[in-house]
Amino acid sequence: MDCPRCDGGNLVVQDHLGIEVDVCTRCQGMWLDHHEMDLLEDTVLDKDDMKGSMMYAERPSDISCPKCQDLMTTFNYRAYDLPIDFCNQGHGFWLDPGEEKRVLELMEKRIRDLKRTASAEGEWAGFLKGLASKKAPGSKSVFGKVKGWFTGKR
């Protein structure tokens, strides 16, 4: 296949993290068949339901699909500032040089964020539990005490 990005570049099959991708001999851009994008992400996170949606801010691309020559669509990868091109016919994705590393970095960041959210929710639940257990049986609520100050009944 010809490189969609540079004139005269050729895409040759290369092994990338165990995935057969096509890499341009000239600009080092990378073509991923449709399912290979998923495989690439799976090297970091293989739970699809935790990944969220991939395509944000879709707009027409300036390059054509190397398989069908249709104009591709650019989207922001998972709401991050990482523009990636994909073929509307479902042929695959074009990653400019270094973008495949950004994909993996962002996927790792997403895992960290998910873990942080999970632990924050855990802490919050623990905090609420702590509040509930601190309230000794029969003790007045804060509101009850404040009310007591105004009515003179302590």
**Residue 5 contacts Zn ion per CB under 5 A:** yes
Interface pick for Zn ion out of 1, 27, 63, 104 (rule CB under 5 A): 27
Q: Does 67 bind Zn ion (CB under 5 A)?
A: yes
Question: Least Å distance between CB 99 and Zn ion?
Answer: 13
Q: Is 21 in the site for Zn ion (CB under 5 A)?
A: no
- Measured from the CB atom, is 45 or 54 closer to Zn ion? 54
Residue range at the interface with Zn ion (CB under 5 A); choices 17-25, 34-42, 77-85, 97-105: 17-25
Residue closest to 3 by CA, chosen among 97, 101, 99: 97
For 85, residues 6+ apart whose C-beta sits below 8 A from its C-beta are: 4, 61, 63, 72, 73, 74, 75, 93, 94
Judged by CB under 5 A, the stretch of 27-35, 52-60, 78-86, 136-144 that binds Zn ion is: 27-35
Question: Contacting Zn ion (CB under 5 A), which of 17, 57, 68, 146?
Answer: 68
Total Cβ atoms within 10 A of residue 79 = 14
Residue carrying the six token digits 């991050």: 80
Minimum distance of Zn ion from residue 92's CB (angstroms): 7
Task: Tell me which DSSP letter residue 114 carries.
Answer: H
C-alpha distances (whole Å) from 2 to each of 24, 31, 49, 124 are 8, 10, 34, 54
